[in-house]
Amino acid sequence: MKAGLFIATAILYALACILYLLLLTRGSDKAQRMPGTVFVAALGAHLAFLLLETPSPGDLPLADISQILSVSSFGIGIAFLIASYRFDVTILGAFLVPLSLMLFLASGLGSSYAPVPPRVQSAVLTLHIGANIVGLVAFALAFAAGVAYMLQERLLRRRQLSGVFQRLPSLDVLDAMGLRAVLVGFPLLTFGMITGTFWLLRSEGSEFYVSQALGLVAWAIFASVIVLRVAAGWQGRKAAIGTMMGFLFTLLVLAGYAIRAAAGSA
């Protein structure tokens, strides 16, 4: 049953990706509801899959990278729905739904991942992972806003003021959304790094030096974006580029943990 539900969820996500991309490139008012309907169905199937994955009593939640990837995928989807309602940015599904699909498919490699050893499981680890997941979700929204901002600005400079340009949100909306998302994600990333360091110091023999370094780079980038926005008046293109870079390093952190977990199961 789990395998069938996984496949059904992946198909629905993939179909939603195609529909959102078509909405961006060729969309019409009549077609706006179809991508959202399919995506909500994908989230429903994903939720059912997560319920089947619920840890047994006594097991630590989010104890392996497969669960983390799946929950991150679902979280991005939920955050997108909330942002669509709050900012009227439905078209950003063309950038966010592929992210959800990518993370969900990666979670399907669960048999290749080693779970966290029981000797290092703790409530601190759960807090660390939870904070980082919510931070990742916030940064995903900021990333999508940044990508859309860069695309919108490019179309504006080229005076291509029809088609895709008309379907994207305004530059001001995208810039404001990106800033708010970073301001939500940064404290969570900071908390995640602090709890992660505390957990690492208590877990003798657990070494994630590459992922820690990448996480520090991501933290420094987001911190710089926030400081430069406040102190130097950064906004628009520069802020979008910084936000996109920070998110890519955040994904590299996740990839680093996944690779290490896969190596541990070999």
pLDDT at 109 (0 to 100): 78
Nearest 5°: CA angle at 249, between 239 and 117?
Answer: 145
* Better pLDDT: 132 or 85: 132
Map tokens 């870079």 to a residue: 245
DSSP string, 201-236: HHSTT---HHHHHHHHHHHHHHHHHHHHHHHS---T
pLDDT at 255 (0 to 100): 87
Q: What is the DSSP letter of 55?
A: P
Q: Would you say residue 245 has pLDDT above 80?
A: yes
How far does Cα 58 stand from its chain's mean position?
A: 28
Q: Would you say residue 75 has pLDDT above 70?
A: yes
Do the Cβ atoms of 141 and 109 come closer than 8 Å?
Answer: no
Q: Would you say residue 104 has pLDDT above 50?
A: yes
How far does Cα 17 stand from its chain's mean position?
A: 15
Do the Cβ atoms of 150 and 261 come closer than 8 Å?
Answer: no
Mean pLDDT for the stretch of residues 108-115: 62
- Residue 121 CB-density burial (10 A; 0-12 exposed, 13-18 middle, 19+ buried): middle
Q: Would you say residue 157 has pLDDT above 80?
A: yes
pLDDT at 266 (0 to 100): 40
What mean pLDDT is reported for the chain? Answer: 85
158-178 pLDDT tens trace: 887 766 767 888 999 999 999
* Better pLDDT: 96 or 236: 96
Cβ neighbours, 10 Å, residue 140: 27
Name the nearest CA neighbour of 247 among 102, 142, 103.
Answer: 142
Mean pLDDT for the stretch of residues 208-221: 84
**What is the C-alpha to C-alpha distance for residues 168 and 37, in angstroms, rounded to an integer?**
20
Name the nearest CA neighbour of 149 among 181, 182, 167, 172.
Answer: 172
Do the Cβ atoms of 113 and 261 come closer than 8 Å?
Answer: yes
10-59 pLDDT tens trace: 999 999 999 999 888 887 655 678 899 999 999 999 999 998 877 655 45
Mean pLDDT for the stretch of residues 97-114: 82
